Structure 1
Amino acid sequence: MNRTSFRGKGKRVEFPFREAFWMSLEQIRKRLKRSIILVGSIALGISLLTHLEMTNVILATYMSSMGSTMEAYQFWLIIVSLFVCGIGLINANLIAIYERYREIGTMKCLGAMDQHVMKLFLIESLIFGAVGGVLGFSFGTITAIASSSVQLGINALSFTPLEAILRYLAISTGLSVLLSVISTMYPALRAARLNPVEALRHNI
């Protein structure tokens, strides 16, 4: 918490975004193992989405008679996987907050307000979402090309349009950020409402 700085202007306490961002990075570094678990959970769900979509794109490019949309069972498979991923993220974030009770209590005693705590957790979720999205997209694309190579041979890569790669990179990253932020909202709100005195007395 070396970078923590809550600036007061009159009766208003400020927590600049730049300092909140650096503090979020520091917290991620300090809890690297849990951060890896969170990013991995996001990447797993996104990689399934990317794998199914990119496989359809590759096969549709190779066989013009084949539609490029997902089949129904694939669609529901993605929905279920993203739902399970979201539940897992909520549980992981709740545990992370439980481990940080004393830290949150200290922040509040130093002048942090509810919105400052919310900002800190939401910035962390944005970072997790962005990293998890890129990793999930990369892994999903690689597995899609590899599985398509079983049918198409080594030419599978040539049937992967660059436009589709860029489009699904944007979709995957955006969806992972959205999933991460949504799954963090409840834990972050709970953290923001902690009583600082009770939080400081908390023993893990």
Structure 2
Amino acid sequence: MSDEPRYAELHAHSAFTFLEGTDEPADMVAQASRLGLDALAILDVDGMYSTVQTTMAARDCGLPVVYGAEVTLDPHALGAIVPGSHARGWGLAPGAEEPGIRLPLLAGGPDGYENLVGMMSTRALAREGERSPRFTLEDVSGAGGGLVALTGGRRGPLMRALRAGGPTWARRVISALAEAVGGADRVLVEWQA
């Protein structure tokens, strides 16, 4: 066993996440392989648009890929997490600099991949002509399991809860995420410097 630290990037955005990522998935995979990363997860927002390019590039260089997506949560559904809260309290007032709460989800295996794709397809087809899907934690828990939740970055539910209501709200959010994905061992807290 090597003493070298191991690292897998589990929350990257490619050019398929407009205004947040700039590189093509194949370039990201090639660079991750050159850097010696153990795995790479490219999370598109509300879809899995880069999956084919990512998979083909990863096959070419032998880099393991973790599949997932970053889904946008319905801010009105957050009242179930923190009773008495409302969208404005989560920093989601009209005109907010960073509207929306994003929940990164990873597929924990083939079943998780199938359930994540199924959940996103169901939501996308729920209303004819709707192009801005909003998910709830009930959607996540009803997906069928096999998912791992990340707490997200500055737009993630944990940071939003910390800013809006401090540690009490943050604990409630972590508990709600754990319930939605089937246990605390399936929630990964992200640390960004």
TM band (smaller chain): under 0.3
- TM-score, L = length of structure 1: 0.23
- TM-score, L = length of structure 2: 0.24
- Answer with 1 or 2: which has the greater Rg: 1
Bigger share in helix: 1
Bigger share in strand: 2
Determine which structure has greater relative contact order: mean sequence separation of CA pairs < 8 Å that are 6+ residues apart, divided by chain length.
1
